[in-house]
């Protein structure tokens, strides 16, 4: 039978689900429910596998992994992002890579909006004060009439723009591949990056991590932002230079940040972000609704089936 390996179902999402049972119809499936602690461990787990279903982005599929996995023919990724895969190496070694696009659009956009509101209205801070027995009332930020700046207008960026428009915000956008048709349909305007950063009250990141976007927002970009600006990141942590973000938050160069993604995940217990009152943190859970999990896992299994049927779907390379 075809050897299929899931090397990284931790925390578990596919174990014990009907999708795993579906996958077993296509081969002999091995599921690992612990995190591979090294590249060597990942290579050991997928040894001899013709198909790998990748659940977690902490598993890095490098040149070395592909080189030492000569049997591998399909890497089916659960999720949209493929920044944990050396796509050029995959091509060189004849490995097809698929993903599950647009399965988490609504969930991530809702989470971005929730973070905006949580930071603007200081909800976690006020809640913590209340649980300590204090009654501290102060001014909060109303988003109606404010300007949202959307970085990246793919499916999630577009949905976030719709939600921002729905609560009465003006929406600006910047992206590498603008669509004036979508801008007209949803009701936002494309502007240069510098203009977006300087005019937006809330800046929400919805870009893929790539060589072009890694470290996109640094000290220079934070200097352009309003002191009252709020930064939201539900995309990838490495798009923002962490030291520049910390400096901006500590120095009140921006009002606050809502972060669901981090350069290193999980973040360290001693990470200074944990100590700042003007930050709302969530553990990369924006796409973790039951609806998203079911849709994404189903598509990942469908991608295996279509590949075996000779007509791969959702092919990245």
pLDDT score for 136: 86
Q: In what order do the strands lie in the sheet with 202-205?
A: 189-190, 170-174, 147-151, 202-205, 230-233, 256-259, 279-281
Active site residue 92: no
Q: Give the active site residue among 45, 56, 111, 236.
A: 236
Eight-class DSSP state of 290: H
Percent of the chain clearing pLDDT 70 (strictly above)? 100
Overall pTM > 0.85: yes
Angle at 201 between CA 231 and CA 204, to 5 degrees: 35
Active site residue 236: yes
Domain boundaries, the chain: 3-103+289-308, 105-281
CB-based contact 125:118 (threshold 8 Å): no
Provide the CATH topology of domain 3-103+289-308: Rossmann fold (3.40.50)
Active site residue 73: no
What is the per-residue pLDDT across 132-176, written as a single tens digit (0 to 9) for each? 999 988 889 999 999 999 999 999 999 999 999 999 999 999 999
pLDDT score for 30: 98
Q: Give the active site residue among 263, 284, 294, 295.
A: 284
What is the per-residue pLDDT across 205-258, written as a single tens digit (0 to 9) for each? 999 999 999 999 999 999 999 999 999 999 999 999 999 999 999 999 999 999
Q: Give the active site residue among 219, 265, 277, 291.
A: 265
What is the per-residue pLDDT across 100-117, written as a single tens digit (0 to 9) for each? 999 999 999 999 999 999
Query: Domain spanning 105-281 has what CATH number?
Result: 3.40.50.720
Cα–Cα distance measured from residue 137 to residue 129, given in angstroms and rounded to the nearest whole number? 10
Supply the mean pLDDT for the chain: 97
- Which positions ≥6 away from 260 have C-beta within 8 Å? 111, 115, 233, 234, 281, 282, 283, 284, 285, 286
Pull the structure tokens for residue 211. Answer: 């060589």
Q: Do the two domains 3-103+289-308 and 105-281 of this chain adopt the same fold?
A: yes
């Amino acid at each position: 039978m075809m050897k299929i390996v899931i090397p990284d179902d931790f925390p578990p999402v596919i174990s014990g689900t009907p999708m795993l049972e579906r996958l077993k119809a296509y081969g002999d499936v091995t599921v690992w429910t612990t995190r591979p602690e090294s590249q060597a461990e990942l290579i050991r787990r997928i040894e001899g596998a013709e198909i790998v279903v990748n659940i977690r982005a902490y598993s890095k599929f490098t040149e070395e992994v592909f080189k030492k996995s000569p049997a591998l023919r399909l890497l089916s990724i659960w999720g949209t992002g493929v920044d944990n895969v050396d796509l050029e190496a995959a091509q060189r070694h004849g490995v097809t890579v698929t993903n599950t696009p647009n399965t988490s659009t609504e969930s991530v956009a809702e989470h971005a909006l929730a973070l905006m509101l949580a930071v603007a209205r200081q909800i976690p801070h006020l809640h913590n004060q209340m649980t300590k027995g204090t009654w501290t009332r102060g001014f909060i930020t109303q988003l109606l009439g404010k300007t949202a700046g959307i970085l990246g207008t793919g499916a999630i960026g577009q949905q976030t723009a719709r939600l921002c428009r729905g609560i009465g915000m003006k929406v600006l956008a910047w992206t590498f591949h603008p669509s004036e048709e979508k801008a007209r349909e949803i009701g936002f305007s494309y502007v240069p990056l510098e203009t977006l950063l300087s005019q937006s009250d809330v800046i929400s990141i919805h870009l893929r991590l790539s060589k072009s976007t890694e470290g996109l927002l640094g000290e220079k970009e934070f200097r352009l932002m309003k002191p009252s600006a709020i930064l939201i990141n539900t995309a990838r942590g490495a798009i923002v230079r962490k030291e520049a973000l910390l400096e901006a938050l500590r120095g009140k160069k921006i009002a606050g940040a809502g972060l669901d993604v981090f350069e290193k995940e999980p973040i360290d217990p001693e990470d200074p972000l944990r100590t700042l009152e003007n930050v709302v943190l969530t553990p990369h859970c924006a796409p973790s609704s039951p609806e998203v999990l079911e849709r994404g896992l189903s598509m990942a299994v469908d991608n295996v089936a279509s590949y075996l049927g000779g007509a791969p779907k959702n092919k990245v390379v």
